[in-house]
Amino acid sequence: MKERLERMRELTSLLSEAAKAYYQESREIMSNFEYDRLYDELSALEQETGMVLSGSPTGKVGYEVLSELPKEPHPSPMLSLDKTKDVEALKEWLGDQAGLLSWKLDGLTVVLTYEDGALAKAVTRGNGEIGEVITNNARVFENVPLRIPFSGRLVLRGEAVIKYSDFEQMNDEIEDVEARYKNPRNLCAGSVRQLNNQITARRHVNFMAFGLVEAEGEDFENSRLRQFQWLESMGFGVVDYQMVTGDTIEEKVGDFAEAITLYDIPSDGLVLTFDDIAYGESLGRTAKFPRNSIAFKWADEIRETTLSYIEWSPSRTGLINPVAVFEPVELEGTTVSRASVHNLSIMESLELGVGDTITVYKANMIIPQIADNLTKSGVGEIPGACPVCGGATEIRQVNDVKSLYCTNPDCQAKKIKSFTLLVSRDALNIDGLSEATLEKFIGAGFIREFADIFHLDRHREAIVEMEGFGQKSFDNLRQAITAASHTTLVRLVYGLGVAGIGLANARMLCRHFRYDFEAMRSADSEALVEVDGIGEVLAQAWCSYFAQEKNREIVDRLLSELTIEPVEEEEESGEFAGMTFVITGSVERFKNRKELQALIESKGGKATGTVTSKTTYLINNNVNSASSKNKKARELGIPILSEEDFLKLLEGEYHAD
C-alpha cells in the first residue's frame, strides 16, 4: 500500500504540473499520449486503493482561473467526459439506444447566453465551477450570430476553435519562423481570453455548438438531434455529427477516422451522446463525469522501432531542439523516421539514449511522437558545443522546463533564417540557394554577411567539390546570383528581415517615401507611423534596426552589390490611383488574396491590412458578416464590396446603394 500511495502522490504532482502548463500557460511539458497513460495509471490506483488524494487531476476539470477577466460561477458544473479507445466499449455503452456521434474538438469550451434574441453573455469553462466572462471577445468570433430569431432565453455550449487553414495563413504572415504560433489549440486559448478583443478579432476564432442547455419554451420532442437541427436553423455552426445505433457505430467511427486527416478543425477524438434526452439525464452523473455522453479517443497506431541518433537542431533564437531520428516505420499510412522531443525535460523523462527500443505514434493521427522508451538506456552526453558554430552551449530552465541554448550571439545558425529570407522568392529570388545549401556555405565560412553571397566565385573550387554540387550547379547558381543583383527596392526592404516588415509593409514604405531608401532608413518613428499599415511597434523595430551601426554597414555593403531598378511614376496612376483597399476573408474569383492585391496595385491602388479612416473600400465576400473589419468599416462609413462588386468597380459599373 505504501508504494502505491507514493506512486499516486508522484502521479498527482506530475499530472497537475502538466495540466497547469497546458491549460494556464499554453505550453506542453509532456505529450498527450504520456498524459493519458499516467492519468489512466492514477485512476487505476485510485480504484484499487479506494483513495483519491487532495489535488488529484481525476477530480478536477479544466484550468484554474488566473487572468484579469471577470469571473462568474456556472449554474451547474461543467464536467469532463469519461473516455474509451475501444469501439466495442462504445457499442456496449450505447446498447439499444440511438445516439449522436460527433467530433470532439480541440479548442476552448465556451457557454453562450442569449436574451430576447441578442447575445448577452459568453463565459469560458474555466475550472468547471467558475469561468471567465469573455462576452466582448465572443462578439468578434467569426461565426457567432449577435442576434437570432428567437426571443426566449437560450443557453448553449460549444467549442471555440481556430481552423488549421486560418492557423497556417496567420503563421505564413510571420516572417520569423521562431516567432510563429505553435498549434491552433494554444493560439485559440490565448485568443479567446484576451483583454483586448481587437486581438481576438484578428485570430479567426470560430464557435462550434455541441450542446443545448436551455431554450425557453421550445419543444425538441426529447431528441438531441432536434436540438442540433434547431441550433443550425438559428444560424449557429454546429459540430459535425452522425446518427448511430449499435449496428452502425463501428462503420461511422471508421468514416470519422478516414476524414480526420483532411478535417480543417483540430479534433482529438469523438463524442457519443444519447439522442433520448430524458433517458440520458435519468442516468445521472459521477463526481466528474455525466453519464449521458462518453468520449472516444483514437486508439493510436503504435510501432516499435530503434532510435538511431539524436539530431540537435539550432534555431534563429539560439534554442537547440533535440529531434529523435529512428528506423523508418509505417504509421497511419505514411512512413515516418523523425519526431521532435521538444526539450531536455521530456528527453530526460524518457531516459532516451541512442540504440534504445522506442514506440512511436501520431498524435491525433497527424504529428509523430515518441510514446515510450522500452529500454531506457539513459540520456547520453548533451552537446557542450553548438553543432553549427562550435560555440558554448548552456542548459536553461524556464517554468520548470529545461532546454539547450547556444550562447554565441554570432552563431551562423542564428543567421541562416535571415539569409533564407533574403534569397527567397519575394526578396532577391536566388534560385539554388536553399536553406540546406546556405547552411553548408555558412558552416564552411563562405558566407558571413549578406554581401558575401555575391562573391561565392572566390570559393568555386571548394564548392564544386561539395556533395551535391558540381561545375554545372555552380554555374547555374552564379547566373542566378547575377540576375538577382538587379532588383527592386521593395524586394530589398522585405529581404532585410526587419521584424514585422512583410512584403505588403515593404511596398507601403517604399511608396510613402517615394522609393528614397536613404530617407526611409533615416526616418524617425513619428514619420514612419504616417505610413499605412505601420504602427508604433513596427516603426520602433525599423528604427532599432538602423540605429545599430553594424546593421547599417551590412546594408551598405549589400547595396554596393545591387542595382536597384528605377520605379516608373505610372505606379501612381491607374483606375485605383489614390484608393486604399483592405482584403479580408476567403476569395473565390482569384487564386488567393495576393493575386487580388497584385491586381489592385497594378491599377495604382494600395492594399493594406487594417481598416482606417484612409481606407476607400473593404473587400469581403461575406458583406453582412459581424467581423471586426466589417464592423469598423460600417462605423467609418466605408463601403464593403464583394468580389462581384469589386469587379464591377474595376469595369466602372459599381454604384453604391
Which residues are marked as active site?
104
Distance CA(629)–CA(627), nearest Å, equals: 5
**SS3 state at 291:** coil
d(CA 531, CA 542): 12
Strand duo 319-331 + 401-406: pairing: antiparallel
Contact between 296 and 103 (Cβ < 8 Å): no
- Does residue 552 contact residue 546 with C-beta atoms inside 8 Å? yes
Q: Decide: 508 and 571 in contact? Cβ < 8 Å.
A: no
Biggest alpha carbon distance in the chain? 84
> Residues for the chain: how many in total?
657
| Cα-based angle 511, 513, 515 (whole degrees, multiple of 5) | 65
Report how far residue 648's alpha carbon sits from residue 35's, in angstroms, rounded to the nearest whole number.
56
Q: Where are the extended beta strands (E) located within 374-485?
A: 393-398, 401-406
DSSP 8-state class, residue 382: P
- Residue 100, Cα to own-chain centre: how many angstroms? 29
* Helix ranges (DSSP H) in 517-585: 517-521, 525-528, 536-547, 549-559
Query: CB–CB of 336/360 below 8 Å?
Result: yes
Contact present, 271 and 81 (Cβ < 8 Å): yes
> Is residue 631 helix, strand or coil?
helix
Cβ partners under 8 Å of residue 471, min gap 6? 464
In sequence order, the 6+-apart residues with CB closer than 8 A to the CB of 398 are: none
Helices then strands, counting H and E runs in the chain, come out as 24, 24
For 414, the grid coordinates are 542564428
DSSP string, 471-530: HHHHHHHHHHHHHHTEE-HHHHHHHTT-TT--HHHHHHHHHHTTT-HHHHHT--HHHHTT
Report the run of H or E that residue 437 belongs to, with start and end: helix 435-443
Half-sphere exposure of 85 toward its Cβ, with a 13 Å CA cutoff?
A: 11
Report phi then psi at 571, rounded to 5: -65, -20
Identify residue 35 by its one-letter amino acid code.
Answer: Y
Count of C-beta atoms within a 10 Å radius of residue 459: 17
Distance, first Cα to last Cα, the chain: 78
89 contacts: CB under 8 Å, gap ≥ 6: none
Q: Are 83 and 269 in contact, with CB atoms under 8 Å apart?
A: yes
Q: Which of 444, 176, 448, 441 is nearest to 315 (CA)?
A: 176
On whether the CB atoms of residues 270 and 103 are closer than 8 A, the answer is: yes
Grid coordinates in use for 467? 556533395
Output the nine-digit C-alpha cell for 142.
467569426
d(C-alpha 484, C-alpha 478), whole Å: 10
